[in-house]
Amino acid sequence: GYSDVRSANTPMDKENPWGKDKTGKDVDLHHYRSMIGSLMYLTASRPDIMFVVCACGRHQVTPKECHLHAVKRIFRYLKGHPKLGLWYPKESPFDLVAYSDSDYGGATQDRKSTAGGCQFLGRRLISWQ
C-alpha cells in the first residue's frame, strides 16, 4: 500500500516530469488506465491535479515506466495533501446559482460565438467551462 511511502509536495516534477528515460520499459496497460481512471474521477473535487492527470492520460496507448512513476507521484501528492479540494458540508444551504456569458459573432474572422459559464452550490464553485 501507500501507507509507507513518502508524500510529494507537488503533483508533478517541474524540472523533469517524465523522469530520466522516456523510452523505458512498457507497463501493464490495464493497471495504468485503471489508475488514470481513478484520478480522473478525483479531479471533480480536486482541480489541483487536473493538469497533471490529463498530461499522464495522453500516454495511455503506450505507457512507459516513467509515465507510471509520474502517476504514482500524483497519488503521493494526494497522500500528503488530503484536505485540499472542494468541500460541500451537509449543513450548507442548497442554493444553486449559475452564471453564463456569450459573445455572438465577436470573432471577426469566422463569426463563431464564444460561451462560458460557472455554477455555484452555495458559495462553492462546482462547475465551470
Q: What is the pTM of this model?
A: 0.71
Closest CA to 66 of 1, 30, 13, 6: 13
Give pLDDT tens digits for 10-57.
Answer: 999 888 777 666 678 999 999 999 999 999 999 988 889 999 999 999
For the packed helices 29-42 and 50-57, what is the interaxial angle rounded to 10 degrees? 160
Lookup: cell for 56? 499522464
